[in-house]
């Protein structure tokens, strides 16, 4: 109906910008079919309908607001990443049909948008290393992207040192090899390596106390508390740790302690003291390494 009025009363339609989106964060283990459907619909059905409805209009631009979730992934946003990947694929498909298209994998906007609508979400992204930017910065960037004539472009500020700390598995992906090398050359892994060397150099009987200090520090970062707010015997669940935060904390612990950890470890050893003791038991024996 809107397009009919445009075509009847206004000059020819020259551009389409699709910004619809919905977030329902959940880990893959807890993701339901209904959640996936709700998250996919605004992006995929909306874009597909716009594509079909404007196929015969003389468009100069067809802009899809995708997300950095499709570019780099984000814990708890598998469905959202899939929805935005659809937009990226649609842009490529339109180009092959000789039609204009640009899909922009935006990072978090500040002051507006889905990340800003929930304060904790934006803060957690910032803590992991994915910064935000104001809309006033985005629009000039969008003009430059349209001039470059690429079908898919990412625009997201990432602090690599914090990102690889939060997502150590990312470093093993070939697509991140160049950035990981740059981060390593810039001393990105020094923090975790220094701690592990210090811990392994500590007498075995004193290690749990050193490990617990680091567990409390990392848990505090994830929970946005000071380390003093994470009590030795207070269950993580009582402090508000959920499955998404647990995934992030596990990633940080793996990077700091140089270990591969079970997804259930945090819940089996649900306090800082118990977890620290369990981590110390899993540390390699320096004498055996020699």
Map residue 283 onto helix, strand or coil. Answer: coil
> What gap in Å lies between CA 216 and CA 118, rounded to an integer?
25
Report the alpha-carbon distance of residue 129 to residue 33 in Å, rounded.
Answer: 30
- What six digits make up the tokens of 17? 């910008």
Residue with tokens 């302690």: 257
194, 152: one domain: no
Q: Is residue 22 part of a domain?
A: yes
Domain holding 202: CATH number?
A: 1.10.1200.10
Six-digit token pair at 128?
């992991």
Give the residue from 81, 96, 71, 87 showing the smallest Cα distance to 39: 81
Assess whether pLDDT exceeds 80 at residue 175: no
Tell me how far apart the alpha carbons of residues 108 and 159 are, in angstroms, rounded to a whole number: 14
The structural domain count of the chain equals: 2
What is the structure's pLDDT at 188?
Answer: 39
pTM of the model: 0.65
Q: Distance (Å, rounded) from C-alpha 183 to C-alpha 167?
A: 13
* Domain shared by 245 and 139, yes or no: no
In the chain, alpha helices (H) = 2-9, 33-53, 68-72, 78-96, 113-117, 119-128, 135-148, 160-166, 177-185, 190-200, 207-223, 243-257, 265-268, 272-282, 286-289
Pair (15, 152) in one structural domain? yes
Contact of 33 with 72, CB cutoff 8 Å: no
Residues 203, 128 share a domain: no
Q: Which of 80-94, 98-112, 190-204 has the highest mean pLDDT?
A: 80-94
In a domain, 118, yes or no: yes
Does residue 270 lie in a domain region?
A: yes
For residue 7, what is the domain's CATH number?
Answer: 3.40.50.720
Print the domain residue range for 212. Answer: 189-282
Could you identify the residue written with the tokens 């003791």? 277
121 and 24 assigned to the same domain: yes
31 and 92, same domain (yes or no): yes
Query: Quick one: 151 and 21 in the same domain?
Result: yes
Contact 16, 67 (CB under 8 A): no
59 or 254, greater pLDDT: 59
Instruction: Indicate if the pLDDT at residue 150 is higher than 60.
Output: yes
Query: 150 and 208 in one domain?
Result: no
């Amino acid at each position: 109906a809107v397009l009919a009025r445009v075509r009847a009363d206004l000059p020819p339609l020259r551009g389409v910008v699709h910004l619809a989106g919905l977030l329902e964060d959940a880990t893959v283990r807890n993701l339901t079919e209904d959640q996936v459907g709700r998250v996919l619909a605004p992006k995929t059905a909306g874009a597909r309908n716009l594509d079909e409805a404007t196929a015969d209009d003389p468009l100069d631009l067809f802009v899809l607001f995708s997300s950095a979730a499709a570019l780099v992934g984000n814990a708890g946003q598998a469905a959202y990443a899939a929805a935005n990947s659809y937009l990226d694929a649609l842009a490529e498909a339109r180009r092959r049909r000789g039609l204009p298209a640009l899909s922009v994998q935006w990072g978090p906007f500040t002051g507006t948008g889905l990340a800003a609508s929930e304060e904790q979400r934006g803060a957690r992204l910032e803590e992991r290393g994915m910064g935000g930017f104001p809309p006033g910065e985005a629009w000039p960037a969008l003009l430059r992207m349209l001039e470059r004539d690429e079908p898919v472009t990412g625009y997201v500020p990432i602090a690599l040192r914090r990102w690889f700390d939060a997502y150590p598995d990312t470093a093993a992906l070939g697509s991140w090899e160049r950035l990981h090398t740059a981060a390593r050359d810039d001393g990105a892994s020094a923090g975790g390596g220094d701690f592990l060397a210090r811990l392994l150099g500590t007498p075995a009987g004193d290690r749990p106390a050193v490990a617990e200090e680091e567990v409390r520090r990392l848990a505090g970062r994830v929970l946005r508390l000071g380390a003093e707010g994470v009590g030795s015997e207070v269950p993580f669940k009582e402090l508000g740790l959920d499955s998404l935060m647990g995934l992030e904390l596990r990633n940080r612990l793996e990077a700091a302690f140089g270990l591969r950890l079970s997804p259930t470890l945090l819940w089996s050893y649900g306090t800082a003291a118990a977890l620290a003791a369990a981590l110390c038991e899993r540390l390699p024996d320096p004498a055996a390494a020699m």
